[in-house]
Amino acid sequence: MADKPHLNLVIIGHIDHGKSTMMGALLIKTGAVTDREARELEKIAKEFDRDSWSYAYVFDRLKEERQRGITIDLAFRKFETDSKYFTIIDAPGHRDFVKNMITGASQADAAVLVVSGKKGEMEVGLAANGQTREHAYLAQTLGVKQLVVAINKADVWEYDQDRFNECVENVSALLKTIGFRVGDIAFVPTSGLKGENLTEPCDSLKWYDGPTLIEAIDQFKLPEKPLDKPLRLPIQDAYRIKGTGVVPVGRVETGVLKKGDKIKIMPGGFEGEIRSIEMHHEEIPKAEPGDNVGFSIRGLNLDDVHRGDVLSHPDNPCTVITPNGNWTGQVIVIWHPTAVAQGYTPVVHTHTAQIAARFTALKKKLDQKTGAVIEDSPKFIKKNEAAIVQLSPIKKLCLEKYEEIPELGRFAIRDMGRTVAVGIVKDLETGA
Ligand code: GTP
Ligand code: MG
C-alpha cells in the first residue's frame, strides 16, 4: 500500500443522503473491511434496531452515532485501487457538525459529493439552507478542486434516467455558480445500500455508460506537491507521550520538514530542533506536503504549541496577524439571518485555527459571477452576496496571502452553529 501514491478523499453531502452507507459498502466490496467485520456490524446494527445502517457502521463507530443513525465526527479509513491508495474521510451531513466537515475538507485532495436522488431529498439538500449547497461551497473554498458526484439511492428512484438527468442538471447548476469546472466532473448513479454501481456496472442502469464509483474515484489526479514553497505545517494537536516528551501532530501543507531541521512555531515563537518525525507509527527522515506526521522537538512544552499554530523554518516563518493588524478577504456569504455589518465578530476557521475576528470594514460588494464591483463601502452584505471585507483577529493568527500560499490563505466564517461565509485572503497587514 505504501508504494502507491496516496490521496485524501472527503465524503460530503446533506444528512442521510447515504455517505457512510456508500463508503461502508465500497470498503466491504473491495475487501478493505473483512467479511467477519461486516457480519459483526450487521449484528450490532440489529441490536440498535437500525438494520439498514450496518454499512454505515463501518464509519459510524461512536455509540451516539449508532443510536441516532447519524455521523457526528470524522472517521478515517484506508482503501486501495489498482493505481492508488486512499484515505477516506467520512464527514457528517448534520448542520450542527459542519465544523467537523470543514476540518475533513481542509485535509482533502478530492471529494465525493453524495446527493440522494430520492424525490424531495435532492431538493432539500440544494435549498438555501441545505448542506449539499453548504458543503459544495466549503469544499471549493477550502481548495478541493476535484469532485465526483454520486446521485445515490437509485433503488428508490427506480433507476429512472429522467430523474437522474434532473438531479445532474440541478446539481450542475449549483456547482457552476460556485466555480467548479462542471465539464470535468463525473456524475455517477449509485445505490449504496444495494452496493450498486460502486465496483461493477449495474444491470438496472443499462442506460448509463459512464464509470462506476470506484472508476471515477480512480481517475482523480494526484495533487502537485508544493515542495519548493516555504515550510508550513499547521498544528492539529499536541500530546505528552511518556519517554518521548511533547509530540505535536499535523499535516505538512507546503515545503519539506527534515529530521535535524531548526524550526520555529508561530505565533508563540518557540525555536528548536526536530529530533524525530513519525508517520503511521514509523519513523521517517522527512515529511512532504500531504503527509500527516507527529514529531518530537527537544525542550518543547505543552505551553509552547497549540492547535492552530504553524510550524515553519526560522528563516521564513509563517505570517502572523496581530489584533492591531487585519486582512482583506474576498468572501461569499452563504447564510446569515439578517446581514453582515461592520463590527460583527464571528469565529474564523482557517487551516487548524479557530479564532474570533471582527469585520473592521466592508469595502466592496461584488457580482458573484463576474467579480465586478457593484457597490463601494456597502452598509451590509447579505446571503448569496460576494464582497471584499477587512477582518481583524482578536488574538494573533497565522495566515498567508492566498496568491502566495493558498493552503494557508483560505478561511470560513461561522456563527450560531452554521457557516456564514467562506473566503480567501487577498492582502494583509500584520499590525506588528
Ligand atoms: P450523515 O452522516 O448523518 O450525514 O448521513 P449519511 O449521509 O452518512 O447517511 P447514512 O449512510 O447514515 O444513511 C442514512 C439512511 O439512508 C440509512 O437508513 C441508509 O440505510 C439509507 N440509505 C443510504 N443509502 C441508500 C440507498 O442507496 N438506498 C436506500 N434505499 N437507502 C439508503
Ligand atoms: Mg454518515
Domain of residue 141 covers 6-218
Residue 226 lies in a domain: no
- Looking at the structure, tell me whether residues 155 and 44 fall in a common domain: yes
397-to-327, 379, 413 alpha-carbon distances in Å: 10, 26, 14
Nearest CA to ligand 1 atom 2: 71
Quick check: CB of 188 below 6 Å from ligand 1?
no
- Looking at the structure, tell me whether residues 238 and 326 fall in a common domain: no
pLDDT more than 90, % of the chain: 81
Residue 227 lies in a domain: no
pLDDT score at 179: 84
pLDDT score at 243: 86
pLDDT at 431 over 80: yes
Residue 418's pLDDT band, with cuts at 50, 70 and 90, is confident
With helix as H, strand as E and coil as C, how does 216-238 read? HHHCCCCCCCCCCCCCEEEEEEE
Atom of ligand 1 minimally distant from the CA of 192:
27
- Looking at the structure, tell me whether residues 302 and 324 fall in a common domain: no
What is the maximum alpha-carbon separation in the chain? 65
* Ligand 1, pocket-test mutation among 89, 193, 213, most atoms within 8 A of CB: 193
Nearest CA to ligand 1 atom 13: 18
Q: How buried is residue 431: exposed, middle or buried, by Cβ count under 10 Å (0-12/13-18/19+)?
A: middle
CATH, residue 247: 2.40.30.10
Cell numbers linked to 430: 500584520
Quick check: CB of 50 below 6 Å from ligand 1?
no
Quick check: CB of 66 below 6 Å from ligand 1?
no
- Looking at the structure, tell me whether residues 171 and 296 fall in a common domain: no
Average pLDDT over residues 283-311: 95
Average pLDDT, the chain: 94
- Looking at the structure, tell me whether residues 177 and 76 fall in a common domain: yes
pLDDT score at 368: 62
Domain C-terminal end among 218, 249, 274:
218
- Looking at the structure, tell me whether residues 160 and 279 fall in a common domain: no
H-run or E-run covering 397: strand 397-398
- pLDDT for 321-343, tens place per residue? 999 999 999 998 878 999 999 99
CATH, residue 46: 3.40.50.300
* Ligand 1, pocket-test mutation among 22, 51, 52, most atoms within 8 A of CB: 52
Residue 118 lies in a domain: yes
pLDDT at 370 over 70: no
Quick check: CB of 125 below 6 Å from ligand 1?
no
- Give rounded-to-5 percent helix, strand, coil for the chain: 25, 35, 40
Residue 124 lies in a domain: yes
pLDDT score at 2: 57
- Looking at the structure, tell me whether residues 308 and 326 fall in a common domain: no
Average pLDDT over residues 252-270: 98
Q: Is the dihedral of CA 396, 230, 425, 132 positive or negative?
A: negative
Domain C-terminal end among 312, 340, 366:
312
Residue 420 lies in a domain: yes
**C-alpha 384 chain-centroid distance:** 21
DSSP-based three-state secondary structure for 268: coil
pLDDT score at 1: 54
Quick check: CB of 70 below 6 Å from ligand 1?
yes
pLDDT score at 362: 98
- pLDDT for 108-136, tens place per residue? 889 999 999 999 999 999 998 899 998 99
- pLDDT for 129-170, tens place per residue? 899 998 998 888 777 889 999 999 999 999 999 999 999 999
pLDDT score at 129: 84
- Looking at the structure, tell me whether residues 142 and 115 fall in a common domain: yes
Nearest CA to ligand 1 atom 29: 153
What separation in Å is there between the alpha carbon of 91 and the centre of ligand 2? 7
Quick check: CB of 256 below 6 Å from ligand 1?
no
Q: How many separate domains does the chain show? A: 3
pLDDT score at 333: 87
Quick check: CB of 152 below 6 Å from ligand 1?
yes
**CA pair distance 406, 413, nearest whole angstrom:** 17
- Looking at the structure, tell me whether residues 20 and 51 fall in a common domain: yes
Closest ligand relative to 125 C-alpha: 1
Residue 32 lies in a domain: yes
pLDDT score at 375: 97
β-strands 270-279, 146-152: how paired? unpaired
Atom of ligand 1 minimally distant from the CA of 17:
7
- pLDDT for 348-363, tens place per residue? 999 999 999 999 999 9
Atom of ligand 1 minimally distant from the CA of 70:
3
Domain C-terminal end among 261, 284, 312:
312
Cis peptide before 267 (omega within 30 of 0): yes
Atom of ligand 1 minimally distant from the CA of 14:
4
Provide the 10 A C-beta neighbour count for residue 343.
8
- Looking at the structure, tell me whether residues 286 and 265 fall in a common domain: yes
- Looking at the structure, tell me whether residues 354 and 401 fall in a common domain: yes
- pLDDT for 172-208, tens place per residue? 999 998 889 999 999 999 999 999 999 999 999 999 9
Quick check: CB of 56 below 6 Å from ligand 1?
yes
Cell numbers linked to 289: 506536503
Average pLDDT over residues 386-412: 95
Quick check: CB of 20 below 6 Å from ligand 1?
yes
Residue 224 lies in a domain: no
pLDDT more than 70, % of the chain: 99
Q: Are 426 and 328 in contact (CB under 8 A)?
A: yes
Residue 225 lies in a domain: no
Residue keyed to cell 424525490: 119
Quick check: CB of 94 below 6 Å from ligand 1?
yes
Nearest CA to ligand 1 atom 26: 153
pTM (two decimals): 0.77
Quick check: CB of 156 below 6 Å from ligand 1?
yes
**CA pair distance 351, 385, nearest whole angstrom:** 24
247 phi-psi bin (left φ>0, alpha ψ -120 to 50, beta other): beta
- Looking at the structure, tell me whether residues 65 and 210 fall in a common domain: yes
Nearest CA to ligand 1 atom 3: 70
